[in-house]
Structure 1
Amino acid sequence: SYMAPEVIRGYQYTKASDIYSFGIIINESLSEEIPFNNIPHDEYLAVEICKGFRPKISEIIPELLASLIMKCWDAKAENRPTAKELYQIIKKWDEEEVDSNSEIYSQM
């Protein structure tokens, strides 16, 4: 359930597949729920993941973070953010968190 769809299909691990896994781990960490915890981890789940099925994102996760997680889970590896882009986004949020007019401040 932590593997990117392309890895499930037999392609090699890439930085983009690591970004997919990063999104799964961030979602699990913030929601405190194991992905697909109510579904057997079998071939059916693997096929569904390849068709676009993703873990539920908890309502407690701020919208900006949920949106970033979903970008990490994009079905097309080339559409996922790079590690550098993730760093820049998170760094920007960190800098904006003290600004009471910022979107990240209002969601946290």
Structure 2
Amino acid sequence: ADIYSFGIIMNEFLSEEIPFNDIPHDHILAVKICKGLRPKISEDIPKFLVDLIMKCWDAKAENRPSAKELSNENKSESIKTHPQAIYTSRLLNFINLPEPVNSSDLTSFQVNSVSECFDVQLNESDLDEINQEDDNLNDEI
């Protein structure tokens, strides 16, 4: 039951959906689960995780993986890498990067970000006016 529950929790976590949220949780649901009903699995969950969830939900407990097998399977899957991925440091040549600023200098960061992203020219008085309007809205709430 623990491994079955692990599969339920894993699916709930990955799909962000409560199992059987569209039907009553009663004795009829329990009978349907015993007859093979399982929660929906989201289509965007990777196949290796879907397979793992399905193994955890096997009707026969002896066919379900052990906790140790789950741990080993997760480790082996997590260390697979894409053959074209580069995992070593390399020199990158970035041309025309803006001058670095400290994160504590948020005013200039916000002005520059807005200007660059939206091609809007803001000066200090415009920014002060926007901040004042935001403060007024927050006071009303």
TM normalised by structure 2 equals: 0.58
Work out whether 1:41 is the aligned partner of 2:4.
no
Where relative contact order (Cα < 8 A, 6+ residues apart) is larger, the structure is 1
Q: Structure 1 unaligned runs (5+)?
A: 1-16, 102-108
Indicate which of 45, 69, 74 corresponds to 1:90.
74
Q: Percent identity?
A: 69
State whether structure 2 residue 51 is matched by structure 1 residue 67.
Answer: yes
Report how many aligned residue pairs link the two structures: 83
CA distance in 2, matches of 1:66, 1:95: 18
Cα RMSD of the aligned pairs, angstroms, is: 0.6
Bigger radius of gyration: 2
Q: Give ranges in structure 2 of 5+ residues lacking alignment.
A: 84-141
Q: List structure 1 runs of 4+ shifted beyond 3 angstroms.
A: none
TM-score of the aligned structures, taking structure 1 as reference length: 0.75
Match of 1:57 among 24, 41, 47: 41
**1:13-71: CA deviation from partner (whole Å, max 9, x where unpaired):** xxxx1000000000000000000000100111000000010001000101110010000
